[in-house]
Structure 1
Amino acid sequence: MYVCNEEIKLPHKDTIVWKYLDLSKFLDLLLCRQLFMSRSDKFEDQYEGTFSEPTYEELKKISENNPKFLDNYKSHRKNVVISSWHINEYESYAMWQIFTKNQEGLAIQSTIGRLQEALKPETNYEQHIGEVEYIDYKKEYIPFDNNFFPFLFKRKSFQYEREVRIISDLSSHKLTINEGLKTAVDINQLIEKIYIHPKSQNWYKNLVIQLMAQLGFDFSVEKSDLESDILI
């Protein structure tokens, strides 16, 4: 269930967000009606869920008489799952390049409000939505009075991601999480529009429309305009 956490920075509900993915992952989303959330320590960025240097120095002082204090933070990463979305009013050429491996990728367009509404209330663990802040990990401080803060800060090198996240802390649920888990969502609320890869062929767009129809969905499907004809 979605829970509003006032300590977490959240964009306006009308903010447009995107998720870029391959066809296989998109079909898995539609078939299962579940959104995959990755275990936080499985992301490519090794700093995921860790602290900046100033914060780490403070934590070391606190843990001098309690060695398990820092160990708890390290193990905590294994129990936090994340679904990442990209904030942008328009398509992102960089996101197409990074998150779709071939010309058969697509992008889901949604909004913050839709994400909130899509998260199922009957889910038995809390789900939070927050915008990532990008800081200098050598100089800037990350507060640690909220268990979600380490997962809402990243290094400035990742600013291009403009990321907003759905986050769940499953520490109290005693689950075995391998790569991640799937959480139930209202697909019709989650998806506002589908964009097809800019380098894809027309047959691919028709295939996506046909597959969605067979699964009972009728989303608006558009070809990315990044490859539109020039006007000169």
Structure 2
Amino acid sequence: MEGPNLQDEDYIDQHDPHPSEVRDEMEDAHRDGTRGWYPEDTEDDTPIWRYMDLGKFISLIQTSQLWFSHTSKFEDPYEGRYSKTVAEGIQREKWGIEEPLEEDTEFFIEDGADHYVSCWNRKKNQSAALWELYTEGSNGVAVKSTVGELKRAVTGLPEDEIDHQMEFGKVKYHVTGDEARGHYAPIFTKRDIFEFEKEYRAVLTVFDRLEDTDIEEAKIRSGVGIGLEVDLDILINEVYVSPGAGGYLQDVVECIERDYRPAFSIERSTIFDHPLVDSSS
């Protein structure tokens, strides 16, 4: 779903409650008082990639669950948060606080909701940089899918048990202090130093207080991550073994394919092969 263009309309609502009311009223609502902001989506046939080490791939195949990490577990300290500049700007423009206090700014920077994220690379072909960044040495694989297949493959959580919402979209990159504002904006925006990732995200927002548990459709580790059930035959088109891997790794992946019989092809990545060597022979 594509939301309003923030460049075309004023994001500030007309009502203006007193700042002292914000903390008590916004725990499960939009913490900044801005209008809804939704990420831009893309065509269903857009190729997407997920790079992972062998252990995570084996877990995906054995459990048929796609791991969604809690935003607090990401290495980037800006992940899922406003910058200080924007948090202070919201207080001044929305709540009329001329001199924002540090504790108030921290409230606007932090998000009370729980967001769990599955990150993919939105690119037609493989990325050498992401092979090196997201796989341990030569011990990794890349799973290829499409946007539409990701959406169709994810089962989600039982709506009658857990209050949640799923959102899909492209990550928007920005200069620090110039990011979009709105409930989903910090989750679907990143600093421009990460623009090479061309990220596409599936985001699960949970509004209930979760306990560590296993239910039929998911494995829940509150504040850490959630494994959501997926249809592997829909999700996975192809699997590429790390370009630097020895033959043993492809043997392992082929054993997984034989034992679990998912309908995907397996190839060794040839992006670093010598141009004069026929890798197909």
TM range (shorter): 0.7 to 0.9
In 2, Cα distance between equivalents of 1:161 and 1:24: 22
Aligned to 1:214: 259
Worse overlay, 129-138 or 61-70: 61-70
Aligned to 1:132: 171
Between Structure 1 and Structure 2, the one with more helix by share is 1
The answer as to 2:269 corresponding to 1:224 is yes
Structure-2-length-normalised TM-score: 0.73
Aligned to 1:143: 181
Aligned to 2:15: none
Q: Determine if contact 2:67/2:226 at 8 Å carries over to the other structure.
A: yes
1:23 to 30, 54, 58: 54
Aligned to 2:107: 71
How many residue pairs are counted as aligned between the two chains? Answer: 224
User: In the superposition, relative to structure 1, how do residues 121 and 101 fare at CA in structure 2: closer, same or farther (>3 Å)?
Assistant: closer
Worse overlay, 60-69 or 98-107: 60-69
Q: Determine if contact 1:127/1:166 at 8 Å carries over to the other structure.
A: yes
SS in 1 for 2:258: helix
Residue ranges of structure 1 left out of the alignment (5+ in a row)? none
Aligned to 2:202: 166
Residue deviations 1:175-215 (CA, integer Å, cap 9, x gap): 14232111111111111100000011223212211122112
1:106 is displaced (CA, Å) by 0.4
**For residue 173 of structure 1, what is the amino acid of its counterpart?**
D
1:5 is displaced (CA, Å) by 5.9
Q: Determine if contact 2:39/2:171 at 8 Å carries over to the other structure.
A: no
State the superposition RMSD in angstroms: 2.4
The answer as to 2:146 corresponding to 1:111 is yes
Q: Determine if contact 1:63/1:69 at 8 Å carries over to the other structure.
A: no
1:73 is displaced (CA, Å) by 5.4
In 1, Cα distance between equivalents of 2:150 and 2:64: 14
Larger RCO (alpha carbons 8 Å, 6+ apart): 1
In 2, Cα distance between equivalents of 1:63 and 1:174: 32
In 2, Cα distance between equivalents of 1:211 and 1:93: 25
1:72 is displaced (CA, Å) by 6.5
Q: Determine if contact 2:84/2:109 at 8 Å carries over to the other structure.
A: no
Q: Percent identity?
A: 26
Q: Determine if contact 1:53/1:137 at 8 Å carries over to the other structure.
A: no
User: In the superposition, relative to structure 1, how do residues 196 and 156 fare at CA in structure 2: closer, same or farther (>3 Å)?
Assistant: same
